[in-house]
Structure 1
Amino acid sequence: MAKSRNNLLGVGGQRKKLSRAEQQGAGPARNDDRKAAEDKKQELVRKMRERAAAAAEAAPAQDAPADS
């Protein structure tokens, strides 16, 4: 059994040359992840606002005294 069985450095050809931004984790994939996260956040905020608006509309109707 080889000594460094878990060390696969160099297996599979040469590694891609990374730009400075990609080395720091700011590559194109990160930009896509940020966009997806922002979209999810906007959708969540929209849902929360809709629920709050529905609750605000329902609350005065329940609190108002009924004229009998």
Structure 2
Amino acid sequence: MAKSRNNLLGVGGQRKKLSRAEQQGAGTARDSDRKVAEDKKQELVRKMRERAEAQAATAAEQDAPPAQS
């Protein structure tokens, strides 16, 4: 006899139990840690881009022939 495809009990996985604070709308510490990590990453990327642009600008100035008057 073929397997029954109608029994989907447990197919979607289990839900995480929410703490009282989470049920009342407060986020977890993990969420705030992710936010802090994302902010740090964005700041680092911004600094790296600024450094790369500055290096490219100085390299372009050094490679350019001096202006004649």
What TM-score range do you get, normalising by the shorter chain? 0.5 to 0.7
- Select 2:10's aligned residue among 6, 17, 33: 6
What's the counterpart of residue 29 of structure 1? 30
Report % sequence identity: 18
Q: TM-score, normalised by structure 2?
A: 0.63
**Counterpart-to-counterpart distance in 1, 2:65 and 2:25:** 59
Unaligned 5+ segments in structure 2 are 1-6
Aligned length: 59
Tell me how far 1:44 sits from its aligned partner.
0.6
Q: Which runs of 5+ in 1 are unaligned?
A: 10-14
Give the C-alpha shift of residue 27 in structure 1. Answer: 1.9
Alpha carbon RMSD of aligned pairs, Å?
A: 2.8
Instruction: Name the TM-score, length of structure 1 as normaliser.
Output: 0.63
Q: Where do 4+ consecutive residues of structure 1 move more than 4 Å? A: none
